[in-house]
Amino acid sequence: MDTQKIISGITNEVKDIMGQEGTGHDWWHIYRVLEMAKNIGQQEKADMFVVQLAALLHDIADWKFNDGDDTVGPKLAREILIKHQVSPEVVEQVCEIVEKISFKGAGVSEEMPSVEGKVVQDADRLDAMGAMGIARTFAYGGHAGRPLYDPDNKPIMHQTKEDYFKAKSQGTSINHFYEKLLLLKDKMNTQAAKKLAEGRHKFLEEYLERFFQEWQGKI
């Protein structure tokens, strides 16, 4: 099995599928997650072939854009992996990661059993934090028709995947910081990601402090 040829072929396919995506889940999100996952994966001594494939395919059909159906992503990932002649064992590993990677609400626990899954999940979550996470939040908010901020619309700590999905266009972009982004620091799996998350989390807090000062006309 020529792993580099497979990675190259799947990379090109993912670029074609996601290149023009406009919600912050585009090819460049995949690229950043891939590079971060490679960084973390090497430190965690993970299987880098599985890590790279899972990073490339983790958002291939995000459940949020498929009527809440979280089986679409693993199904499409499986089709792509089989087409590129990936071994059945690796196909199963990657599809399990794709199935379980997504944040589905503050109160929803989704255990990621493999170290490779933990690595890719951390990389994905890091891209939802810091300056990049802020940019992606407002890109998605515009796509979903979310208001920027409404003091009367309070954050909700969703306890089920269904509630989180229903609320994706009902809240505000600022609420999303409290409903997801600020929770991610404490959900990191690996030591490397935990260290990186500290700085990105602090930047989120600093941004919100500045946002509310400007909102109130104080500066």
| CATH code matching the domain that covers 3-215, chosen among 3.40.960.10, 3.30.450.30, 1.10.3210.50, 1.20.1050.10 | 1.10.3210.50
Is the pTM higher than 0.85? The answer reads: yes
Instruction: Using alpha carbons, select from 141, 135, 142, 133 the residue that is nearest to residue 181.
Output: 133
The pLDDT tens digits for 194-206 are 999 999 999 999 9
Domain boundaries, the chain: 3-215
Helices (H), ranges, 72-160 = 72-83, 88-100, 115-126, 130-144
Distances (CA, A) of 127 to 36, 91, 92, 106, 165: 9, 25, 25, 18, 20
The pLDDT tens digits for 95-107 are 999 999 988 888 8
Element (H, E) at 173: helix 173-179
Backbone angles phi, psi at 160, to 5 degrees: -135, 155
The residue with greater pLDDT, 109 or 173, is 173
- For the segment 67-94, the average pLDDT, to the nearest whole number, is 90
The residue with greater pLDDT, 45 or 72, is 45
Q: Which residue pairs from 8-11 have beta carbons closer than 8 angstroms and sit at least 24 positions apart in sequence?
A: 9/84, 10/53, 10/56, 10/57, 10/80, 10/81, 10/84, 11/56
- For the segment 168-174, the average pLDDT, to the nearest whole number, is 83
Rounded Cα gap, residues 194 and 214, in angstroms? 31
The pLDDT tens digits for 22-70 are 777 899 999 999 999 999 999 999 999 999 999 999 999 765 555 556 7
The helix/strand/coil state of 11 is helix
The b-or-e profile of 16-51 (16+ CB within 10 A means b, else e) is: ebbeebebbbbbebbbbbbebbbbbbeebebbbbbb
Neighbours of 78 (CB within 10 A): 17
pLDDT score, position 133:
97
Crossing angle between the packed helical segments 3-18 and 48-57, to the nearest 10 degrees: 10
